[in-house]
Structure 1
């Protein structure tokens, strides 16, 4: 029997598989907002580059669903070869066109002996072993030396040359202070692994240091994988890849693997006119491991593969070409993701974002992502500023007080309520909760076993993943995946159990006589198959509302408690002062960071006239160009925000939030402006009648002046009541309409 080629896709299986899992995604996630999906080309080869990889199997499902719905495209995903060995997942992934990729770190093996650096200062690439056998088949040139994990992170380096059973040379030295300490036993170095005394008087390891245990990983041949990817792209298909490698639950992006650059450069090198587009995709989750969480899937501006890099790659200078291509991809990913150096910084940024809201309105979820991204970027640049240090202490102290009172930030406003209103609201919500419970309890009873199994198995699998991983912190990235997989397997069994139980009860005594005799057992079974899932879904939705109500009860109880109510009142005043302080600091430093910054920040500048970017006939905007900010020395710094948050990188605008006022909420395509509500179609009081007579240049000039005057008048009227959500344009400058454009408008009217 002929072996099925890599990347083979059965479109019917793909759509059925996606439909089945889409139901589970709708149940697991409360909100999923695609943003800027109109940037995805509907035809031609596309390479989707996605990050961060926060959910093992959920991430590709989310992207497959959005792209299929918005662009009517199917995606061939690259999947770890280890995952393909799972029976159900592997079989479905193969039929859905997934391409299995072997990962060296998945094949690590413990090696005998210990290793150390004999000369870490002058020759950090030389590795020496004690009791090792580097000439064995497990140690290969091009393979990896892997050190023991520290804080769930293990360093690795590629082998360049095996010089003997106890000596080998690395292609590049280990980076960082922890690997250098592991290999030398010394602590006289910085966090970056640079020795404090330079060459000093001691070049070798610490006295008495015997080395450290290690693992080896083989060199993998990925030529078959690259050939399959190139074939899909050259046929106008789309490939999806997570360039970080495996999934993780860190707050920053992991270093990108070179494979994504090799695929892009190789595809264009083989067919220069293929028109490959690279689409960065940000997988932004809010508590991704929790049931009924939220997500924003954001698509960035398409990238073209530079011809000069392709020429370098084809000429043999692959290392430089791949490095530059990876940097381009990383910059693009940074523009669509929210990353921070650590978890504490992310919590701080989210607290500041909640405090900074001049309009006092609930922000749309995509705007929350954008605001978080800019705040992280600004914090990283100014984190050593005394004002930021003071503000950070105040915000952290406020968070501790919230935790002590066991309330959330938005619940602090309850403190302004009067006691009678608090009592009335508490009683009303308790009654409402009691009514909702009537609808929730039956469904919860039916589905309780599924929830229990999902919770237990996901925790167990996360512990296993954490033990086997070198990058995970708590392995939350696998929890949502296993909850969905468990629900997919256990839910049908649970429903079958309840159907069988009630059917037997009906057979014995017609459920204590409540079921009429004219209802046959077949009809009774059919009714259960329809009713039980309906009850469960209703319980899910009512339970969601009930949980929100239940979480709001404690602040009301706190206000009725004499020894706590005063603390909540003080905390509300403290929040108001802190919000003013946050707004002042941001409004002071914001203009230095972002050229498009407004003092109102959340509101667009009503006096700014904006001309929409040109659109193609299909309704898509033409690609926009962005410039990098320049440093004080006049040099253009690299567009890097290292770990997602350097101060020098540019932040391209992906979509104006002003569009939200002109289209259905959370629309993912460019919108057309709303039509004027004026009945006569006037332009600020000046009407162009259908049969106006325009004779000569003087008449055209007169009409042009009236149009410009009407537009200025209209802008002044709009400025008095503007209430937009825009975060600002990319350039931060206005683009006035020229006289030539005005005359062109008039001539168009005349022709009509």
Structure 2
């Protein structure tokens, strides 16, 4: 790929992510090898086409992503893929065809019969017969046009399914030899590749089982070239709300994984040693990804972990950055798994659930509890002040919503339609929220220039028909200026939303001071219990446990913020001054770090 093409795509993603996300931070970038060819394995795959962009803007190395061949056919994505010299991957599911005739189940559980079927022309050994999203079987032999032999026996569920719905699909077996050749060639040229080893995107709270492709690629390339030193680098994508506009994200790079020569030798031997070598590299990759991601078995557990982390009081009273939030969530999850059956932890989990239910009853979030401590005399003027500021900022930002309303409505309609399609065609998605952000961004990329062009044309016609001089120049200037004006309005609306969210605890301070006081006592008692439990038992679950861990971070461990405005002088100075939350809220930060407005206080984790 040319340097200009790669840099152009990277700049485009920086612009997109800077608008879509409120904050993006990168950790562990110093772990990325400067010289050795790398295979970057990325998980969880929570956003279809946003995820590769997150890696591009954060990775100090240039790379070629592996991308589904079907994506090359998409107009915008295909152009970007070719500019990045992406390596096309033929996915068998993209080649699925509808089978002729109907299936019939016989007494032999390893045999499928058909009526009016054409197995000889439609099916080949190693192809897959798909009955439903969760039922599929590999073919070992095509006996005739009406008989197939299967690798595994039909389950009772499959037999029941065929008896009621004899229709089926055929997914052909794909030889990926060409793909491996292309990957080996890039690695031998000291280049790097990026792969999402889970396969497709999803919206689960835990990583899917990893595909073995990256392990086979690394071992195969090193088997061909004895001098090749490939490093496998785990990359964790930690979103707070992967599908929401103006959320936050942390991109974490883990310690590179080196492949021992013994494993390469075993791979060359073939048979059982080969499979064992692949399994060991696969396991090392999975453990590496676990070290840079938060993997909860379900969203209920994730909510318990997130609440416990917020209530925990670190050794030093300070606001946690989002890298510390992600790391602390991960460490809390490790501790949770270790003490999962401990009666003390079970009791704590029930108390946390009760606390969360109480918050829902009062319509509050955890970070708002400390803000109910105002007396009626102090809460009233603050409430009035914030309402006035909210009205002012809403009036200032409302035109932006009005101007962009056609685009907002279109993005919502298309993204929801794509969400329904993705959910219908997947067996691993929960609500298919992984496609929402992608399609919102794609619609905006096409729709925003088109919409602003329409407004500029209408302005030009108005000015021209009324005889204004420089009609074209003024219209063109408006078209160029509109995106920057809209970005400023986004910041205003964002802070308006923050002010709005800060009103509820003030209302509670005025309307129900006794309930607010009881809620604060409940939170403080639970916080003390969690802190005591963690400090007392943390070293049992974590060998490197240190309650002062986040107060003694080395310089290279601290986060870098990825913002496109970082290169401009106005970013840290003027914009921060104009839209500083504390100045807008008039909030005293006199609470502990666990109750202060930390980076994710207003957001729940994935």
Calculate the TM-score normalised by the size of structure 1: 0.70
Q: What do the CA deviations read for 1:505-552 (whole angstroms, capped 9, x no partner)? A: 222337xxxxxx6x5223312431343222211101111111111111
Q: 1:366 aligns with which of 323, 331, 334?
A: 323
Structure 1 pair 250–310 and aligned structure 2 pair: CA distance change class (3 A): same
Q: What do the CA deviations read for 1:295-340 (whole angstroms, capped 9, x no partner)? A: 1111011111221121122122332222222111111111111111
Q: 1:346 aligns with which of 278, 302, 321?
A: 302
Per the alignment, residue 342 of structure 2 pairs with 385
Q: 2:83 aligns with which of 95, 99, 104?
A: 95
Match of 2:295, SS state, is coil
Match of 1:499, SS state, is helix
CA contact (8 A) 2:41 2:232 kept: yes
Q: What do the CA deviations read for 1:159-189 (whole angstroms, capped 9, x no partner)? A: 444566445232x679xxxxx552366xxxx
Per the alignment, residue 158 of structure 2 pairs with 183
CA contact (8 A) 1:283 1:298 kept: yes
Q: What do the CA deviations read for 1:176-220 (whole angstroms, capped 9, x no partner)? A: xxxx552366xxxxxxxxxxxxxxxxxxx9xx9889765431100
Quick one: distance in 1 between partners of 2:40 and 2:256? 10
Structure 1 pair 565–115 and aligned structure 2 pair: CA distance change class (3 A): farther
Q: How does 1:15-414 map to 2 (within 5 A)?
A: 15-67=7-59, 71=60, 73-111=61-99, 112-114=101-103, 127-131=110-114, 135-149=119-133, 154-162=134-142, 165-170=146-151, 180=155, 182-183=157-158, 214-317=168-271, 318-358=274-314, 359-414=316-371
Deviates more, 1:374-383 or 1:224-233: 374-383
Question: Post-superposition shift, 1:225?
Answer: 1.0
User: Are 2:388 and 1:426 equivalent residues in the alignment?
Assistant: no
User: Are 2:490 and 1:540 equivalent residues in the alignment?
Assistant: yes
Quick one: distance in 2 between partners of 1:531 and 1:210? 61
Question: Post-superposition shift, 1:131?
Answer: 3.1
Question: Post-superposition shift, 1:490?
Answer: 0.3
Quick one: distance in 1 between partners of 2:526 and 2:106? 52
Quick one: distance in 1 between partners of 2:91 and 2:481? 46
Quick one: distance in 1 between partners of 2:375 and 2:451? 48
Deviates more, 1:212-221 or 1:327-336: 212-221
Q: 2:470 aligns with which of 508, 520, 526?
A: 520
Structure 1 pair 255–114 and aligned structure 2 pair: CA distance change class (3 A): farther
Match of 1:473, SS state, is coil
User: Are 2:2 and 1:14 equivalent residues in the alignment?
Assistant: no
Question: Post-superposition shift, 1:395?
Answer: 0.7
Quick one: distance in 2 between partners of 1:35 and 1:345? 25
Match of 1:658, SS state, is coil
Quick one: distance in 1 between partners of 2:8 and 2:153? 48
Q: How does 1:649-728 map to 2 (within 5 A)?
A: 658-659=553-554, 666=560
Q: What do the CA deviations read for 1:641-661 (whole angstroms, capped 9, x no partner)? A: xxxxxxxxxxxxxxxx6125x
Q: What do the CA deviations read for 1:403-436 (whole angstroms, capped 9, x no partner)? A: 1221110101122111111101111111111222
Structure 1 pair 99–505 and aligned structure 2 pair: CA distance change class (3 A): same
Quick one: distance in 2 between partners of 1:326 and 1:595? 24
Q: How does 1:722-741 map to 2 (within 5 A)?
A: none
CA contact (8 A) 1:116 1:211 kept: no
Of structures 1 and 2, the larger Rg is shown by: 1
CA contact (8 A) 2:104 2:112 kept: yes
Per the alignment, residue 597 of structure 2 pairs with none
Question: Post-superposition shift, 1:363?
Answer: 0.9
Match of 2:122, SS state, is coil
CA contact (8 A) 1:446 1:498 kept: no
CA contact (8 A) 2:27 2:557 kept: no
Match of 1:449, SS state, is helix
Structure 1 pair 451–382 and aligned structure 2 pair: CA distance change class (3 A): same
Match of 2:120, SS state, is coil
Q: What do the CA deviations read for 1:474-509 (whole angstroms, capped 9, x no partner)? A: 111111111111110000011111111222222233
Quick one: distance in 1 between partners of 2:223 and 2:153? 31
Match of 2:236, SS state, is strand
Quick one: distance in 2 between partners of 1:138 and 1:566? 73
Q: What do the CA deviations read for 1:430-489 (whole angstroms, capped 9, x no partner)? A: 111122224312323322222222222111111111111121111111111111111100
CA contact (8 A) 1:603 1:724 kept: no
Quick one: distance in 2 between partners of 1:270 and 1:77? 22
Quick one: distance in 1 between partners of 2:106 and 2:30? 53
Per the alignment, residue 700 of structure 1 pairs with none
Q: Which has the higher helix share?
A: 2
Question: Post-superposition shift, 1:664?
Answer: 7.3
Quick one: distance in 1 between partners of 2:295 and 2:111? 38
Q: 1:551 aligns with which of 494, 501, 504?
A: 501
CA contact (8 A) 2:418 2:435 kept: yes
Per the alignment, residue 439 of structure 2 pairs with 482
Quick one: distance in 1 between partners of 2:311 and 2:593? 19
Structure 1 pair 503–95 and aligned structure 2 pair: CA distance change class (3 A): same
Quick one: distance in 2 between partners of 1:239 and 1:140? 32
Structure 1 pair 432–370 and aligned structure 2 pair: CA distance change class (3 A): same
Per the alignment, residue 456 of structure 1 pairs with 413
Question: Post-superposition shift, 1:601?
Answer: 5.3
CA contact (8 A) 2:104 2:166 kept: yes
CA contact (8 A) 1:10 1:97 kept: no
Quick one: distance in 2 between partners of 1:461 and 1:425? 44
Quick one: distance in 2 between partners of 1:310 and 1:86? 38
Quick one: distance in 2 between partners of 1:184 and 1:485? 42
CA contact (8 A) 1:299 1:336 kept: yes
Question: Post-superposition shift, 1:13?
Answer: 2.5
Per the alignment, residue 750 of structure 1 pairs with none
Question: Post-superposition shift, 1:15?
Answer: 2.1
Q: What do the CA deviations read for 1:11-41 (whole angstroms, capped 9, x no partner)? A: 4333222222321111001111110111112
Unaligned 5+ segments in structure 2 are 563-591, 595-606
| Aligned pairs, number | 559
Quick one: distance in 1 between partners of 2:439 and 2:488? 23
